[in-house]
Amino acid sequence: MDLQPIHSPPTTFIKKYVFSTDHKVIARQFLWAGLLFLAIGGGLGMLIRWAWGFPGEAVPVIGDLILPHSNGVIGPSTYNGIFTSHGLIMIFFAITPMMIGSFGNLCIPLAIGARDMAFPTLNMLSFWTFVIALLCVLASFFVPMGTAAAGWTTYPPLSTQIGTPGLGQTFMVLAIFFTGSATIMGGVNYVTTVMRLRAPGMTYMRMPLTIWGQWLTAILNVLFVPVLAAAAIMLIMDRHFGTEFFIAGANGPGDPILFQHLFWIFGHPEVYILILPAWGFAGDLLSYFSRKPAYWYKGQVWAMCAVTVLSAIVYGHHMFLTGMNPLLGQSFMLLTLIISVPAELLFLNWLHTMWKGSIRLTTPMIFTLGMVFVFGLGGLTGIFLGTISTDIYLHDTMFVVGHFHYTMAAAAFLATMGAIYFWFPKFYGCQMNEAIGKIHAWLSIIFITLLFGGQMVVGFSGQNRRLWNPFEYTFLEHLTELNLLTTYAAFALGISQLLFVWNFMEGVFSKRTCGNNPWEVGTLEWELSSPPPVHNFTTIPTVLRGPHEYANPEVRRTLGRDWISQTEELPSQPAGTGGADSGAAPAGGDSADGAADGDAAASDEPAAEVAGG
């Protein structure tokens, strides 16, 4: 008897596509919402670049439409709103819903062999709470004095009524609160689902690295997003209910540094929240497309766990310049630099995974390689910011901007794009066009590297971040041309995304189909049809081995291919009860049979040992 219920599939349109509890539908909803806000956030980013490339000139084409009062010219206060909302939208309303909301929802139940999330209704509530947040974001643009303008970090006193009296700032803080609530709901769901609904035989050490990344991310979300929520509540109380937590000086007895503590207690784990799923994708995809087991799977898992733990205790490196006790500063510096050890370990494992593999340069693989490259750049430059002596000079320059864009923006963006191309069959039942995909991938990688590299170089030359017109300062005048080049890179990046838009839409509406397993991958989701049926698994599969069983000579001898699915029994095994003829058949029947057979129990099988050990 199966322990997870099969409910009858929804019949009405509302239940099926709007208030759906099906994790795959919710994954699509998050994907669309995320892509929409990625476009908005990207557009805002291009406006910032326009202001730096062509200061004081009217924005072409859409200028009159979006800024009618200034004839398309980006003025200083508009500029403040643009860079603030760009950051907040990209982090909370583009990357988070796509990478965590969408792929967490799609992959976790499918890849661990569950019929749905542990709490499907909570999952639905999570998405619709997120929609409330999106509405708050959109509303913030249309109130007097415009959207939030205190920077994405929302530091008081700038973010209190003194610095930003407009309602837009309140709406944005409310949006952060709502999206935080949605994230906590999702996080509780993901953590519970992985703990409770893994199929028989799916041990923690047999989960795909994608699931590890999502699970650790969910743990960080559950633990640290509440801190942001607390900060948001206090800020809203300061803005509208008369409290004085953050209002200091002549205006009040509070302490603005308190907000920085709260913000970064959340904010540093958030950095890893946005990169751990990408690391998971990379660990898996590099293995899938190198046709080799992920090098030192357990090492990668433990490295990700180590980063998860360390990420919680390094936040002080964002506050070196707040007059912190030097001893405390040095402790934070040491802990920060220690993170580079597990990160380096992951990096070496990725390179080792590819070493002597038979690499297939598919679109997802190119994106993943790009992610590895830009993450390397971002990670290495982080060392200079984690070190107090260099951070004092680099703090608040464009170097910081370039650094965190390489890690949080470029790496997260490229990894997410790779994941969209890779899992597209499970979303919409076909593969996207590979030729266009490859062009999209290469253009994205090249321009994103130039874009953020350009920011780093000007930052190293002393350009401060967040300046409306940096070239008003004589010591920055000579950086005009470099900024212009970076602006061209940004626009080229933006325009090359049109390839993706076309490719994605074509895939969504096309009648093409692909088999269950177009990439020849062994994890559970690829045994299901594309897209999977409502309740995923008719019988819960029994998992026999780890997720990266490639290039195993035994498998090649008996099955004549270089991969074997996680549930497939090798034909030569005496316990085999059939089902080994194709990757599509879950072996072992339902769980009760699996137990009755006794020796179907996983760990005795030599083939299982290859990946597990």
**Where along the sequence are the contacts to another protein (CB under 8 A)?**
1-3, 5, 118-119, 122, 184, 187-189, 191-192, 195-203, 222-227, 229-231, 233-234, 237-238, 241-245, 252-255, 258, 261-262, 265, 542-543, 591-592, 594-596, 598-604
Would you say 234 or 417 has its CB closer to another protein?
234
Rounded Cα–Cα distance for residues 3 and 205 (Å)? 22
Rounded Cα–Cα distance for residues 557 and 572 (Å)? 10
Would you say 220 or 285 has its CB closer to another protein?
220
Query: Among 382, 381, 402, 491, which residue's Cα sits nearest to residue 443?
Result: 491
In the complex, least distance from residue 151 CB atom to another protein, rounded to whole angstroms: 21
Would you say 231 or 610 has its CB closer to another protein?
231
Would you say 215 or 422 has its CB closer to another protein?
215
In the complex, least distance from residue 546 CB atom to another protein, rounded to whole angstroms: 11
Would you say 485 or 601 has its CB closer to another protein?
601
Q: Which residues of 298-308 are buried (b: 16+ CB within 10 A; e: fewer)?
A: ebbbebbebbb
Q: CA of 100: how far to CAs of 26, 42, 158, 394, 404, in Å?
A: 12, 19, 30, 31, 19
Q: Following DSSP, what letter does each residue of 15-44 receive, concatenated?
A: IIIIS---HHHHHHHHHHHHHHHHHHHHHH
Would you say 32 or 119 has its CB closer to another protein?
119
In the complex, least distance from residue 491 CB atom to another protein, rounded to whole angstroms: 41
Would you say 135 or 230 has its CB closer to another protein?
230
Q: CA of 535: how far to CAs of 100, 127, 528, 582, in Å?
A: 21, 20, 11, 21
Would you say 246 or 320 has its CB closer to another protein?
246
In the complex, least distance from residue 186 CB atom to another protein, rounded to whole angstroms: 11
In the complex, least distance from residue 259 CB atom to another protein, rounded to whole angstroms: 9
In one letter, which amino acid is 151?
A: G
Q: How far is CA 278 from its chain centroid?
A: 6
Answer for the pair 414, 370: CB distance below 8 angstroms, yes or no: yes
Answer for the pair 171, 88: CB distance below 8 angstroms, yes or no: no
In the complex, least distance from residue 242 CB atom to another protein, rounded to whole angstroms: 4
Would you say 221 or 496 has its CB closer to another protein?
221
Q: Mark residue 579 as left, alpha or beta (left: phi above 0; alpha: psi -120 to 50; beta: remaining).
A: left
In the complex, least distance from residue 517 CB atom to another protein, rounded to whole angstroms: 24
In the complex, least distance from residue 597 CB atom to another protein, rounded to whole angstroms: 9
In the complex, least distance from residue 604 CB atom to another protein, rounded to whole angstroms: 8
In one letter, which amino acid is 94?
A: A
Would you say 354 or 600 has its CB closer to another protein?
600
In the complex, least distance from residue 382 CB atom to another protein, rounded to whole angstroms: 26
Query: Among 136, 303, 479, 364, which residue's Cα sits nearest to residue 372?
Result: 364
Would you say 309 or 592 has its CB closer to another protein?
592
Tally helices (H) and strands (E) across the chain. Answer: 21, 0
Query: Among 117, 95, 120, 133, which residue's Cα sits nearest to residue 229?
Result: 133
In the complex, least distance from residue 306 CB atom to another protein, rounded to whole angstroms: 21
Helices marked H in 405-433 — which ranges? 412-428
Rounded Cα–Cα distance for residues 412 and 399 (Å)? 19
Rounded Cα–Cα distance for residues 227 and 555 (Å)? 49
